[in-house]
A and B are shown apart, each in its own frame.
Chain A
Amino acid sequence: MLRIVFHRLLQTIVVVFVLVSFTFVAVRLVPGNPFVSDKALPEHLQESVYKSFGLNGTWGEQYVIWWRNVLTKGDFGPSTSLFGRSVNEIITQSFPTSLLLGLVAMTIALLIGIPSGVLAALRKNSMIDYGSMIFAMAGICIPGFVLGPLLQLWVARHSNFFNVAGWESPADILLPAITLGVGVAAYVARLTRGGMLDILSQDFIRTARAKGVPTFTILRRHALRPALLPTVTFLGPAFAAIITGSFVVETIFMVPGMGQHFVTAVTSQDYFLLQAIVLFYGLLIGGANFLVDVAQAAMNPRLRDAN
């Protein structure tokens, strides 16, 4: 078990490292420079601005300097798109928001997805089954950037409780989280249903039923845990999906999270901000995958041997 933990940890670190390096190179391969604005900057000042941002060495030098700053001082550098702001500030302000949004979205996804899947499996081929599977399909096929505006129009505009956009009252979390969570809920429902059907068709369940054990007890004691295995496997990618989905949702609902900054950092070539955000996302997704792998290995002893 420990071997697996160590192995996956190493893998995560390597992947994150490669990802950030890729970003470093990618963003410098794009023509243009990150320092332009409304009024022309006099030539003689451009040099000094570049220097003050540490962007006047070779790529190799910049690379080493950046990693050194990050690992020793936790300093991710200055932002070039938001003058005078350090990347640390931007991330410390936006990351908790994105995290909160993501967690609420994931919670909603699981709260909707798992019960639907279980119910659909129990009542296979009934209206409930078809109904929830159609809903699940809708969740997959109606993307966030369609659902979001529609929720704004049909729900938020007709209620004082739900705001159209912004992040001022606690209620503002709900619409974006629902938009974000619905897609994941759909997959969770399908996976849970599938896993449940698999388990329910097994002999030992039929035996239990024949013995007259009530359904709920069957679920609780025998079926639920193994049935949820596919869902647990999916949690890693689900987390990644929520993170990448947040780009869209944050834009639509004006949520001041990291997703918005990622998109801006790409379009305005904010080197330091982009590298830092990618590092964060890499750690988040890698971390999530790592935890899921470990949880899986813990839940299913057979996976421990496989490498």
Chain B
Amino acid sequence: MRIAKALPTLLFALLIGSCDNRSSVEQANEEGIFVVGNSNEPKGLDPHLVSGVLESNIIGALFEGLAVQDPIKDGDALPGAATSWSANEDFTVWTFKLQPEGKWSDGVPVTAHDFVFSYQRLLHPELPAKYSEMLYFIKGAEDYNKGKNPDPNSIGARAIDDHTLEITLRGPIPFLPEITKHYTWYPVPRHKVLEFGEIATPFTDWTDPGNMVSNGPFQLKSWRLTHHIEVERNPYYWDAKTVSLNGIRFLPIGNPYTESRMFLDGQLHMTYTLPPEMIPYAQEHIPNMLRQEAYVGVRFIRCNTLRKPLDSPLVRRALAIAIDQASLIDNVLQGGQLPATGITPPFGDYKPPAVVTYNPEEARQLLAKAGFPDGKGFPELKLLTNDKDSARRNAEAFQAMWKDNLNINVRIEQREWTTYLELQYTSDYDLADNGWIGDYLDPTTFLEMWSEGNGNNNTNWSSKEYEAKLHLAENTADPAERLRILAEGESILLKDIPVIPIFWYTTNYLLRPEVKGWSPLLLNNHPLKFVRLEATAEQP
């Protein structure tokens, strides 16, 4: 009966609603709400328990690290939770002075103890955190996390007083403030986390709307599953006067085509991504809303070096240089990506070796040298990839290129996301198409993962020489020298080539013109406190 009574109200609302002819974004502009597509439903909002980009987008609105990304300049760091910082001579001990007015969104002050608590939590051996290794820069962190040392105070993070945090590192790191921009270095509210469980109790209710407190420009307002997550201004944020937006709405739109359709329909300010076919369409119809920006990440194909004939570096290199990267980019991806001549994408002062370029002739020679002239006798390999349409297109392109250039057969295995990941973790694959986005602007974020035993290696390849280079760089204070050593390490990696680099990412997305304070950033970690919505008269 209630439903029957609700029906006339519904009709009435519809009638009224139909008189309002503004689009959704126009309404949002007036309300000061930034509406963005955010790919999928987040797995959680606890900075210590998540590991994906889409979660980090929301966490970046809610929390704030010691340093904050400059909205325009890539390598620069602005004061965040810390007003200033300094290091000792060899960059092994850093001191951060925290904002005196720093508060959680419930008014409780943010102190250095919160930070120490947070590091101890993320490194706790019993917390099922996926990204604890981001803190291994801190002295004693790895040993504590792996259970070798049971004392949490052995971690080199200390609260000298309420507003002074001292961090002792395992080696010289001149770029530590850069790293603190990453969400694994954010503080979590000790008082709230402990209210709902112990330090290492995972998945408690502290992140639920109503419970959650955060120290960033926004606080959590509502979380409706598969519908939207809404954040609103945090009145206790130390820099609230700089924040222009009244709130942000994140929509978990899984299908990128639906997302661009919604954007074109005036429902979103910004999309998470843009499918390749829509790029020419956007270039033609809405060029002023199309953004194509460099994004620090690499797409590669992992080789399971335990499986014949992938145990031969000749074969791996043959596969690598038989791929026409430029053709893939121009015809399939169409996003202005860059062919990857190595693993680490170019940025800053790092000069990586450029050794992977398309050369089908050389590829054939290598294959012959490995014992498979003209592909004869080469077994059929399986190429594992995820179940998205874009993955399939890329995989089919590789398949065709290897067939045309090397005369070998590769079978495509598309698997649903979690299975696709699991098969790589358990080394149950031949070739696997995957990628990696850098966490901070330093080559180590791309090179560390290939060391032995690293959870993201999964190729069964390791090299003592390689580890030695990485280790040496860890202990080198001089930035230029350090980069040189890392480049040597990357040479070793590329010579053995257990992983085949394909392209360096660009990020393609759509952004409405009324969104201001948004500039291209390599890490795509835009500080939302600086974003403004300024609708002008000529909005479409």
Q: Which residues of A contact B (CB under 8 A)?
A: 32-42, 44-45, 48-49, 52, 78, 82-85, 89-90, 93-94, 103, 107, 152, 156-157, 160-161, 163-171, 173-174, 251-252, 254, 256, 260-261, 267-269
B contact residues, range: 35 or more
Give Cα A156–Cα B261 distance, bound, in whole angstroms: 10
Q: Given A93-B224, A160-B23, A166 and B130 touching (CB < 8 A)? A: no
**B480 nearest CB across to chain A (Å):** 31
User: What are 5 pairs between A and B in contact, CB < 8 Å?
Assistant: A34-B418, A83-B203, A160-B22, A165-B253, A170-B17
How far in angstroms is the closest Cβ of chain A from B145?
A: 9
Nearest-neighbor residue (CB-CB) of A251 within chain B: B255
Max chain A Cβ within 10 angstroms of own Cβ: one of B43, B127, B227, B456: B227
Shortest B241–chain A CB gap in Å is: 30
Give bound CA distance, A42 to B455, whole Å: 8
Cα–Cα distance between A107 and B51 once the two chains are bound (Å): 44
Residues of A with C-beta under 8 A to B276: none
- Total contacts A to B, CB within 8 angstroms? 132
Q: B45-80 vs A: 1/0 string, CB under 8 Å?
A: 010010110000000000000000000000000000
Given contacts A85-B225, A166-B24, 15 further A-B contacts (CB under 8 A): A36-B425, A37-B43, A39-B131, A42-B455, A48-B126, A82-B41, A82-B43, A83-B43, A152-B261, A160-B21, A166-B251, A169-B24, A170-B13, A268-B416, A268-B417
Contact for B226 among A34, A35, A261, A267, CB less than 8 A: A261
Q: Does B445 contact A (CB under 8 A)?
A: no
B361 interface residue (CB < 8 Å to A): no
A84 and B51 form a contact (CB under 8 A): no
Distance in Å: Cβ of A274 to nearest Cβ of chain B: 14
Q: Which residues from 395 to 436 on chain B have a C-beta closer than 8 Å to any C-beta of chain A? A: 416-419, 421-422, 425
Would you call B202 an interface residue if the criterion is a C-beta within 8 Å of the partner chain's C-beta atoms?
yes
Q: In angstroms, how far is the closest chain A Cβ from the Cβ of B392?
A: 16
B interface, CB within 8 angstroms of A? 3, 7, 10, 13-14, 17-18, 21-24, 41, 43-44, 46, 49, 51-52, 125-128, 130-131, 147, 202-205, 207, 224-227, 251, 253, 255, 258, 261-262, 264-267, 416-419, 421-422, 425, 455-456, 458
Of chain A, the residue at the smallest CB distance from B11 is A170
Specify which of B7, B44, B261, B416 is in contact with A165 (CB 8 Å cutoff). B261
Bound CA span A85–B128, Å: 16
Q: Are A163 and B24 in contact (CB under 8 A)?
A: yes
A163–B267 touching, CB < 8 Å:
yes
Indicate if the CB atoms of B203 and A82 lie closer than 8 Å: no
Cβ contact within 8 Å between A40 and B455: yes
User: Residues of A contacting B267 with CB < 8 Å?
Assistant: 163-166
Nearest 10 pairs between A and B by C-beta? A40-B455, A39-B130, A256-B227, A84-B203, A164-B265, A36-B418, A36-B422, A256-B226, A45-B128, A39-B51
Chain A residues near B455 (CB, 8 Å)?
A: 39-40, 42
Cα A45 to Cα B126 with chains together (Å) = 7
- Bound-state CA distance A94–B267 (Å) is 22
Contacts of A44 in B (CB 8 A): 125, 147
Tell whether, in the assembled complex, residue B130 and residue A168 are in contact, meaning their CB atoms are under 8 Å apart: no
- Given contacts A167-B227, A169-B17, A171-B17, is CB(A254)–CB(B24) below 8 Å? no
Q: A152–B260 Cα gap in the complex (Å)?
A: 12
A36, A89, A90, A161: most-surrounded residue (chain B CB, <10 A)? A36
> Looking at B24, B131, B225, B417, which has the most chain A CB atoms within 10 Å of its CB?
B225
A266 to B, closest residue via Cβ: B416
Give the distance in Å from the alpha carbon of A115 to the alpha carbon of B164 in the complex.
Answer: 76
- Assembly CA distance A83 to B41 (angstroms): 10
- Chain B min CB distance to A94 (Å): 7
A-side contacts of B131, CB under 8 Å? 39
Tell me, rounded to whole Å, the shortest Cβ–Cβ distance linking A268 to chain B.
6
Contact of B421 among A36, A168, A169, A254 (CB under 8 A): A36
B225 contacts A267, CB within 8 Å? Answer: no
- Select from chain A the residue with minimum beta-carbon distance to B418: A36
**Smallest beta-carbon distance B242→chain A, Å:** 29
A35-B21 Cα distance, complex, nearest whole Å: 46
**For residue A251, which residues in chain B have a CB less than 8 angstroms away from its CB?**
255
- Give the residue name and chain of the A residue nearest to B130 (CB): A39
Whether the pair A84, B44 counts as a contact (CB closer than 8 A) is: yes
| Minimum CB distance partner of A93 in chain B | B225
Complex Cα distance A268/B421, Å? 12
CB distance from A13 to the nearest CB of B (A): 25
**Distance from B130 Cβ to chain A, minimum over Cβ atoms (Å):** 4
In the bound complex, residues from chain B placing their C-beta under 8 Å from that of A85 are 225
Cα separation A49 to B201 with both chains bound (whole Å): 11
Q: Is the CB of A164 within 8 A of B14?
A: no
CB <8 Å contact, A161 and B456:
no
Known interface pairs A83-B49, A83-B203, A166-B262; A94-B225 also in contact (CB < 8 Å): yes
Chain B residues positioned under 8 Å from A165 (CB to CB):
253, 258, 261-262, 267
Q: Which residues of A contact B265 (CB under 8 A)?
A: 156-157, 163-164
Q: Which residues of B contact A167 (CB under 8 A)?
A: 227
| Cβ-closest chain A residue relative to B10 | A170
- Asked if A256 contacts B225 (CB within 8 A), the reply is yes
Q: Establish whether residues B253 and A254, one from each chain, have CB atoms under 8 Å apart when the complex forms.
A: yes
Query: Shortest Cβ distance from A37 into chain B, in angstroms?
Result: 6
If the complex has contacts A163-B24, A168-B24, are A103 and B3 also in contact, measured as CB distance less than 8 A? Answer: yes
CB-defined contacts of A49 to chain B, threshold 8 Å:
128, 202
Q: How far is the CB of B64 from chain A (nearest CB, A)?
A: 22
